[in-house]
DNA sequence: AGTTGGCGTGAAACCGATTTCGTTATTTAA
DNA sequence: TTAAATAACGAAATCGGTTTCACGCCAACT
């Protein structure tokens, strides 16, 4: 039933074939770079195709080859995680790399509740050639997809490492160590940390880095200086107030992300103390806020676009039949005023 | 050529038909809600389908019907605009609405240079049923797509209004008026503004709102208090310094977005003055930074998710053959400390 | 001279869902 | 009771590429 008119008239192989005086099979061969076609004919086909403004019909190709040229980019979370610029940038990195390879990114934002939630179901359905997960809450679902043969790349280290999920991540541990060492190395005697959500590997690793820095610099690790946060501003602020009340002599705080670092600073100011004079602060991410806040936030920069790009490249590798190894991207300390 | 193994085995109409003892045609009718099928048979089909875990093959359907069930979401800009959380949220709003209608969002981030850039070309190609533009730099390209029959919705008011492009936007003019009135109404005598990029309609409208507020409250409009910005932090900061040097008695500034408002505040502080005691500041957007900055930024909140949702709904309407009218979403003043 | 082996090519089958068209079976109208 | 209309359904064509298969041809071997 013709609900709407066709948006455009497409030219088909049949027309090209007619114009170039060859068969559709030959058109296909030429247009797919099969070089065992007589070069004169090939030239004729190419010319006819360009004259007619040929555009390949992806649906037809997908039906025929079983490959869609589309990758799902899945955010296993509520839509508002996209309010964190981090994911937008990752997305851009993915999209850019895939687009170069003529692969489209299909965005799906929704909780992956169970193994037969609509999205999981859809992903198995074969309408995409693979899936890149930006955030994963139900790791079990991802495993089951992998087991079913779907090419999968996840961003962020999986909890269950023995599984053979392909992933890319930032070197959270080393980054956190860098941050903490900077604080300890610039004269701080008592450095606390506000962790991220430690049910996520990123949260754990950044805490591990904090501990490692203490160990490597000969400082004793004091559990009382660790406050367990959840990546959010408000929570970090509350925790910091509590921390400062209990340990008034804290003179440095490593917050596991920038948003929390801002919360930390807000708390410090509220207590009538100064950053960095009384308490130095280091964050993690180097997002826009770190740059625009006053005082500027000293933080750990991660290569966010690179993270997306790496994920996309791993996906491409899988699609080629390779089995890429996990990639861990380096970090870098960015000095501003807060520490 | 079997490059890789099929990700999954799909069940087809043929299998359902066999199991239910009907023809493929009948299966199609039942699964598409055609009610003139014997109800016993219909039941049998539905049961067979669910037992076999049937999942429709979108490529096959697209090839057959000419509709792909996919909408392109286009960002006509460099990938790093996605570092602005604004677009991420819009994206989420779009995606959510479309997903409910079983339509997928295909993300394309790339400059639309000319009418035959790869993306424009692709959009005409018929592999998507329509396109939603988040940012538009080459409006001409969009026009030409519309003319070619592609359903299009753009976010933000087009410059060339006489064209019949469907769009959705925030009420920038009224929002800016609200902001300026708040400053004027709470005792400020000399309120300046840093505009956005006034080659964009949002930039113009927010400036118009600023003027309208002056007029409606009986204040004279002073062109010397208008600094033409470009939405960016650094630029706003520079302009503010210049503004304050020239007019030391400025006691209020309306910045056309939050990022610039932070730049404005940074400049004010740098000049040794206080917010809001010496100079009150109001922004526009109510993004995360407005909330986390100290002092908290008084700003105009726009319904960003709603903007995306509205765009998606307009697109759905177009696909149904309707011709939706432009939607303008209301704004709201959010009071914090800066004014 | 008579195979054998490629090579270049086109005819036709195929992917899976949709839809037209025609055939039967069943009503309704005359 | 018969003709006409209607309903329910299946066979087959269709969408546009891709790929198998077989055929004709010429070069390279015994």
Q: Mind listing the pLDDT tens digit for each residue in A201-254?
A: 999 999 999 999 999 999 999 999 999 999 988 899 999 999 999 999 999 999
- The per-residue pLDDT for B47 is 94
The residue ranking higher by pLDDT, A254 or A8, is A254
The residue ranking higher by pLDDT, B329 or A162, is B329
Domain that holds residue B311: 70-169+305-327
Q: How far is the CA of A38 from the C1' of C2 (A)?
A: 29
Percentage of residues of chain B with pLDDT beyond 70 = 97
What CATH number is given to the structural domain containing B51?
A: 1.10.260.40
- Distance (Å, whole) CA B257 – CA B176: 10
**B63 in any annotated domain:** no
Indicate the helix (H) or strand (E) that contains A137: none
Indicate the helix (H) or strand (E) that contains A232: none
How many domains does the structure of chain B reveal?
3
Q: How far is the CA of B97 from the C1' of D11 (A)?
A: 40
Q: Considering only CA atoms, give the Rg of chain A.
A: 26
- The per-residue pLDDT for A2 is 32
Residue B151 has pLDDT above 90, yes or no: yes
**B4 in any annotated domain:** no
Cβ of A68 near strand C (under 7 Å)? The reply is no
Output the six-digit token pair for A259: 């948003």
Three-state secondary structure string covering chain B: CCCCCCCCCCCCHHHHHHHHCCCHHHHHHHHCCCCCCCHHHHHHHHHHHHHCCCCCCHHHHHHHHCCCCEEEEEECCCHHHHHCHHHHHHHHHHHHHHHHCCCEEEEEECCCCCCCCHHHHHHHCCCCCEEEEEECCCHHHHHHHHHCCCCEEEECCCCCCCCCCEEEEECHHHHHHHHHHHHHHCCCCCEEEEECCCCCHHHHHHHHHHHHHHHHCCCCCCHHHEEECCCCHHHHHHHHHHHHHHCCCCCEEEECCHHHHHHHHHHHHHCCCCCCCCCEEEEEECCHHHHHCCCCCEEEEECHHHHHHHHHHHHHHHHCCCCCCCEEECEEEECCCCC
Which of A266, A334, A264, A268 has the alpha carbon at shortest distance from A299?
A334
Distance from CA of B215 to the nearest CA of A (A): 33
Q: Are residues B246 and B161 in the same domain?
A: no
Q: Are residues B82 and B158 in the same domain?
A: yes
Calculate the average pLDDT of chain B: 91
Q: Are residues A216 and A104 in the same domain?
A: no
Q: How far is the CA of A35 from the C1' of C7 (A)?
A: 12
Output the six-digit token pair for B168: 């959705």
**A7 in any annotated domain:** no
Q: Are residues B36 and B104 in the same domain?
A: no
Residue B1 has pLDDT above 50, yes or no: no
**A280 in any annotated domain:** yes
Q: What is the pLDDT of residues B154-212, one digit of tens each?
A: 999 998 876 789 999 999 999 999 999 999 999 999 999 999 999 889 999 999 999 99
A6: confidence class by pLDDT, cuts 50, 70, 90: very low
- The per-residue pLDDT for A162 is 67
Query: A89 vs B80: CB contact, 8 Å cut-off?
Result: yes
What CATH number is given to the structural domain containing B316?
A: 3.40.50.2300
Nearest to A68 among B59, B67, B79 (CB): B59
**B5 in any annotated domain:** no
Give nearest nucleotide to B25 (CA–C1'). Answer: D10
Q: Are residues A141 and A52 in the same domain?
A: no
**A8 in any annotated domain:** no
Residue A183 has pLDDT above 50, yes or no: yes
A76: confidence class by pLDDT, cuts 50, 70, 90: confident
Provide mean pLDDT across the span A122-128: 89
Q: Are residues B165 and B262 in the same domain?
A: no
The residue ranking higher by pLDDT, B112 or A98, is A98
Q: Are residues A178 and A191 in the same domain?
A: yes
Q: Which residues touch strand D (CB under 7 A)?
A: A 10-14, 24-25, 27-29, 31-32, 54-57, 60-61, 63-65; B 1, 21-26, 36-38, 41, 63-64
- The per-residue pLDDT for B3 is 35
Nucleotides of C under 7 A from a protein CB: 7-20
Q: Are residues B217 and B263 in the same domain?
A: yes
Q: What is the pLDDT of residues B14-48, one digit of tens each?
A: 999 999 999 999 999 999 988 888 989 999 999 99
Q: Are residues A133 and A247 in the same domain?
A: no
Q: Are residues B235 and B279 in the same domain?
A: yes
Q: What residues of B are in contact with residue A67 (Cβ under 8 Å)?
A: 3
Q: Are residues A180 and A295 in the same domain?
A: yes
**A65 in any annotated domain:** no
Q: Are residues B208 and B287 in the same domain?
A: yes
**A207 in any annotated domain:** yes
């Amino acid at each position: 039933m013709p609900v709407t008119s066709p948006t455009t008239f497409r030219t088909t192989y049949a027309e090209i074939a007619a114009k170039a005086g060859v068969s559709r099979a030959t058109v296909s061969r030429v247009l797919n770079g099969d070089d065992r076609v007589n070069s004169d004919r090939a030239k004729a086909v190419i010319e006819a195709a360009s004259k007619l403004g040929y555009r390949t019909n992806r649906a037809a190709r997908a039906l025929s080859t079983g490959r869609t040229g589309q990758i799902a980019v899945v955010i296993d979370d509520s839509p508002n995680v996209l309010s964190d610029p981090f994911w937008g940038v990752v997305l851009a990195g993915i999209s850019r790399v895939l687009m170069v390879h003529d692969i489209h990114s299909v965005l799906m934002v929704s909780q992956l509740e169970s193994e037969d939630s609509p999205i999981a179901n859809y992903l198995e359905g074969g309408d995409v050639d693979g899936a890149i997960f930006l955030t994963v809450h139900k790791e079990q679902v991802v495993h089951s997809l992998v087991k079913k043969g779907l090419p999968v790349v996840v961003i962020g280290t999986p909890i269950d490492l023995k599984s053979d999920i392909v992933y890319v991540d930032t070197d959270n541990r080393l980054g956190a160590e860098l941050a903490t060492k900077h604080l300890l190395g610039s004269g701080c005697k008592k450095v606390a940390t506000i962790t991220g959500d430690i049910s996520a590997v990123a949260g754990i690793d950044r805490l591990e880095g904090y501990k490692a820095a203490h160990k490597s610099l000969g400082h004793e690790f004091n559990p009382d200086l660790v406050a367990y946060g959840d990546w959010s501003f408000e929570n970090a602020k509350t925790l910091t107030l509590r921390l400062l009340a209990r340990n008034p002599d804290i003179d440095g705080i490593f917050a596991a992300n920038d948003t929390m670092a801002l919360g930390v600073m807000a708390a410090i100011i509220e207590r009538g103390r100064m950053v960095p004079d009384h308490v130095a602060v280091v964050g993690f991410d180097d997002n826009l806020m770190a740059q625009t806040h006053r005082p500027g936030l000293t933080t750990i920069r991660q290569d966010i676009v690179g993270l997306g790009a790496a994920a996309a490249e791993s996906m491409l590798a899988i699609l080629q039949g390779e089995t890429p190894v996990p990639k861990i991207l380096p970090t870098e300390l960015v000095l501003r005023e807060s520490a």
